[in-house]
Amino acid sequence: MGGTDLPLVLEFGGGAELLFDNVKKRQVTLDGSKTWKIKELLGWIRDNLLRERPELFLQNDSVRPGILVLVNDADWELLGELEYELQPNDNVLFISTLHGG
């Protein structure tokens, strides 16, 4: 607890939530004793949250093209994409643009 936790808010929208039990927003707490990059977060999501058809969310260690990723309301492309180092209380949002844009 305390200093060794990394609390994050994960959000899924635009149809991406359908792959995650239809839950749009969830609080998660990661092990804060090590640094987490988005790359590792995606692996964690795949192992712990993704319920069905991982190929609709992930492709070659990254998210599938057509899924937007926003960290604290900023496009992840501006933050280094997979290499961005997550900070406590970051809000990470995944939106699929393929369903009903």
> Which residues here bind another protein, judged by CB under 8 A?
13-15, 64-66, 68, 70, 73-75, 77-78, 93, 95, 97-101
Nearer to another protein, 47 or 73 (CB): 73
Only one residue has tokens 């369903």, namely: 99
Nearer to another protein, 31 or 75 (CB): 75
In the complex, the smallest distance separating the C-beta of residue 6 from another protein, rounded to whole angstroms, is 23
DSSP single-letter state for residue 42: H
Which segments within the chain are labelled E, that is strand? 5-13, 25-31, 58-59, 62-63, 67-71, 74-75, 90-96
SS3 of residue 65 by DSSP: coil
In the complex, the smallest distance separating the C-beta of residue 16 from another protein, rounded to whole angstroms, is 10
Nearer to another protein, 2 or 65 (CB): 65
In the complex, the smallest distance separating the C-beta of residue 67 from another protein, rounded to whole angstroms, is 10
Only one residue has tokens 């994050």, namely: 8
Nearer to another protein, 4 or 89 (CB): 89
Closest CA to 68 of 83, 80, 81: 81
